[in-house]
Structures are given as C-alpha cells and as structure tokens.
C-alpha cells in the first residue's frame, strides 16, 4: 500500500509539472531584434563594497532552455552584467535524446570557457527540481553538480514507470524524458540539499509563487523548508522570478532572514523576454561585494548584501538600499527662482534604475504633481517651494519605487546647498 501511495503521488505530481511546462517560467511574449545593443547596467558602489549586477538563475539546452551556454555569456556581456550563473535542471531533461550529457557540469564548463578573459564572471550552479513540498531549489557555487542527483535511485527500483509514461503517449512530450524525470525525482531532495551544502553552495528557493506550485500565488513554507532553515541549509529566496514579484516571498525573506534574490530564469533568448525597444531589462540581483572574486561574491550573498532590480522597482533591506539610492542621486546645482523662495534643483540619476522622488513632510514640489520621475542615467529639474530662502536645506523625500518592506518605501534626505 505504501508503494502504491508513493507511486500515485509521484504520478500526480509529474502530471502537474509536465503540464505546467507549456507555460515555462521566465518565458514572456515580447520579441525584439537580438542585434539591438542595450546600454550597460550601471549602479554606483557603496561604502567599502563594489556593486555587481547578477543573474543567478538561467537555462540552456543542457536542460529545458533553447540556446547554447555560450549564448548566455554573450547576452550577459552585451548587457554589462557582472555575474552569470548557469543553473540547469538536474532531473528535468527534455533534450536528453538529442543532447545526451552524462556530466551535469558541462553547461557551466562551456559558459566558463566562453567567458574566459571577459568581464562577466560565470559561476557554477544547478536546479534541484521537485514537486511540492520541495519545489525548485537552486544551488550555486557548487563544485560537482553530478553529486546532487541520482537518475536511478534505489527508491525507484520497485516502481512501474511504464504506467506513468503511458499517461503521456498522446502528448508532444518526449516519453523517455518523462520517465527520466519521474525516476530521478525519487532521489530524496534532502540528500541533494545536504550535498550542496557540503560543497559550500549558496542555496535558494526558486519562484515560490509560481502558479503550478502555488495556485493562489502565495508561497508557503513546508516542513522541509523549515527544517532547512533551522539547519542553516537554505540561504535565500527569489522575491522576483521572470515577470513575477511576490510580496509574500519578500515578507518571508525578512521574517526568516533570507537573502533577497531576483532572477530572469531565462529559457529563450534574453531579448525575446525583455525587449530593449520597450526599454525593458531582465530582473537583476545587485550584490555588494568586497571584490570580484568568487569567494567575496559568495560571502556577500551569505551576508544578505543584495538589492533586487525589477522593472521600475528596487527591492532591498534598508541598510543597502539607502546608500545605493543616496549614491545614485547627485545634486548638481541649486538656485532660487528670481524674486522667490522657490529653489530650482538639478538632480542627476547615475544609476540604470528609474527613481520616483516624492514629496515628504510638508515640502512642496512646485513643478511636479508630488512626484518627480527620474529615468535611469538622466537629469531632472525639481523645484521646491520653501517658506524662506536658505543657503542650506535638508529636504526629506520618499523614493516611491524603492521598497524596504512590501508596504514601505525608502525615505532619504536630499542635502541641498544653494548657489
């Protein structure tokens, strides 16, 4: 009876997973010319840290993506990305019939070789792919991805996989890949997570609000997740994956002291998912590191020194988001309009992110309807109506699209000296 129950559970879980692949995470509808050369991602360094832009969740043809690993590197170089992780599914291998690869480290090796002597740092990773209650888990900085899975676990010895495969004989899915996924997925995820940690990996929970595993869009920690948290084996969570942002995942990150992560989870060409013609960009995790060395980047992630850049929003803990914003906004000059106490201020945004500067604490903007939208790498004018002329004024503002909690925007003070 226990074996039958286990079989039924895996068969049902497999059906949910395979059907969901028709709406693969990270695959959007916008298409633009790959020849479009975007401007480089730019964010200022803060304090003792350099600011590195990263995408820590990507796929190639070595799992269920549709490009060669070296293309991922070329895309990253074109965007000015500093760090790229290749994180293939270990168990879900729909191209295995055409691209047999017994070594799960191969995609990373190809990408690393392609990036040699280039400006992007490629790091090794893998996606441990399970149905609930585990979900999908990324492990990066792994030393050997092959050690994280077993395509023929002993748990699968007494299971009739033909019964599972027969459910898909009329589908377009590769039947051998279905059996492979079902068989490999029976290897205990706890062993995979333990092995990743033993290799010194940084481990994070992928797309916890993904509809096929969270139908109401609300991620929920299972007993396994809580166990990994207690044991210090789960270090981060994706608050952004592709075109999805999860407020609840942000809450979970703050409550359980997890690193905030935002990724593209790209499967197609990156410019198919994020059109530069429409001024879109992939989700990025900004990492505040002491150097560009892999060890320093890993230390920064473990220490939760990150901010997520998603569409027109920045998401992060206050201790890192505030200095990032303060360094991004430069007060270039300030003069009073003739015969008035209205201070005309020139602001320069040196970052790639849009910044929405809003009135706070009774200070009135004279030339804006409460909020100045300052596009990335741009200059804007802000007129502030004061009661009287002052040589130096501290103007509190709210950066409406910089979130330090799901409900709270960052507040900063503009220190302005008039000419």
Q: List pLDDT tens digits, range 323-357.
A: 999 999 999 999 999 999 999 999 999 999 999 99
What average pLDDT does this structure show over 364-369? 92
Structure tokens at 160: 């009739």
* Among 21, 23, 241, residue whose Cα is nearest residue 131: 21
What was the pLDDT predicted at 31?
A: 29
What was the pLDDT predicted at 5?
A: 44
Taking all residues of the chain, what is their mean pLDDT, rounded to a whole number? 91
Q: Give 178-216 pLDDT, tens digit per residue.
A: 999 999 999 999 999 999 999 999 999 999 999 999 999
pLDDT band at 275 (very low <50, low <70, confident <90, very high): confident
46-50, 240-244, 276-280, 337-341: the lowest-pLDDT one: 276-280
pLDDT band at 277 (very low <50, low <70, confident <90, very high): low
What average pLDDT does this structure show over 226-254? 98
Q: Is the pLDDT of residue 110 over 80?
A: yes
CA 243 – CA 335 distance, rounded (Å):
42
What was the pLDDT predicted at 170?
A: 81
Structure tokens at 163: 């019964």
CA 95 – CA 158 distance, rounded (Å):
26
Q: Is the pLDDT of residue 395 over 90?
A: yes
What was the pLDDT predicted at 366?
A: 94
CA 48 – CA 27 distance, rounded (Å):
37
Residue with tokens 């005309």: 344
Q: Is the pLDDT of residue 27 over 50?
A: no
What was the pLDDT predicted at 63?
A: 97
CA 311 – CA 308 distance, rounded (Å):
10
Phi, psi of 18 (to 5 degrees): -65, -40
Structure tokens at 404: 């330090």
CA 93 – CA 115 distance, rounded (Å):
25
Q: Is the pLDDT of residue 16 over 90?
A: no
3-7, 58-62, 278-282: the lowest-pLDDT one: 3-7
Residue % of the chain over a pLDDT of 70: 90
Full-model pTM: 0.90
Contact 118, 106 (CB under 8 A): no
What was the pLDDT predicted at 34?
A: 34
pLDDT band at 47 (very low <50, low <70, confident <90, very high): very high
The secondary structure element, H or E, covering residue 401 is strand 392-403
The structural domains of the chain, ordered by start, are: 2-311 (3.20.20.140), 328-417 (2.60.40)
Contact 202, 298 (CB under 8 A): yes
What was the pLDDT predicted at 22?
A: 42
What was the pLDDT predicted at 98?
A: 93
* Among 85, 79, 119, 33, residue whose Cα is nearest residue 266: 85
């Amino acid at each position: 009876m226990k074996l039958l129950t286990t079989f039924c559970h895996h068969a049902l879980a497999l059906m949910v997973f395979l059907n969901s692949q028709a709406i693969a995470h990270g695959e959007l509808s916008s298409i633009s010319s790959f020849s479009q050369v975007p401007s480089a991602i730019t964010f200022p360094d803060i304090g003792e840290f350099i600011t590195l832009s990263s995408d820590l969740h990507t796929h190639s043809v070595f799992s269920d993506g549709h490009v060669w690993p070296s293309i991922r590197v070329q895309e990253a170089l074109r965007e000015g990305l500093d760090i790229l992780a290749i994180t293939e599914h270990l168990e879900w291998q729909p191209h295995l019939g055409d691209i047999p690869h017994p070594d799960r480290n191969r995609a990373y090796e190809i990408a690393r070789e392609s990036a040699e002597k280039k400006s992007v740092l490629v790091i090794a990773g893998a996606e441990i792919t399970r149905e609930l209650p585990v979900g999908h888990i990324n492990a990066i900085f792994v030393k050997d991805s092959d050690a994280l899975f077993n395509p023929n676990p002993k748990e699968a010895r007494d299971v009739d996989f033909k019964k599972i495969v027969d459910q898909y004989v009329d589908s377009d899915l590769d039947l051998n890949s279905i059996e492979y996924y079902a068989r490999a997925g029976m290897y205990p995820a706890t062993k995979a997570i333990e092995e990743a940690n033993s290799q010194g990996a940084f481990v994070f929970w992928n797309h916890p609000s993904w509809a096929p595993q969270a139908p109401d869009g609300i991620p929920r920690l299972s007993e396994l997740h809580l166990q990994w948290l207690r044991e210090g084996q789960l270090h981060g969570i994706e608050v952004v994956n592709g075109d999805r942002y999860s407020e609840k995942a942000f809450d979970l990150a703050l409550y359980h002291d997890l690193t905030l992560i935002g990724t593209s989870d790209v499967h197609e060409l990156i410019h198919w998912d994020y059109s530069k013609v429409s001024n879109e960009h992939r989700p990025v995790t900004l990492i505040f590191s002491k150097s560009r060395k892999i060890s320093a980047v890993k230390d920064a992630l473990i220490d939760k020194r990150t901010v997520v850049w998603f569409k027109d929003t920045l998401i992060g803990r206050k201790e890192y988001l505030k200095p990032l914003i303060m360094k991004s906004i430069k007060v270039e000059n300030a003069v009073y309009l003739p015969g008035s106490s209205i201070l005309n201020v020139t602001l320069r945004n040196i970052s790639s992110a849009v910044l929405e500067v809003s009135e706070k604490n009774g200070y009135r903007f004279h030339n804006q309807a409460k909020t100045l939208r300052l596009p990335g790498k741009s200059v804007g004018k802000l007129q502030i109506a004061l009661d009287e002329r002052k040589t130096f004024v501290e103007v509190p503002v709210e950066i409406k699209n910089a979130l330090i909690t799901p409900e709270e925007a960052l507040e900063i003070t503009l220190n302005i000296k008039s000419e």
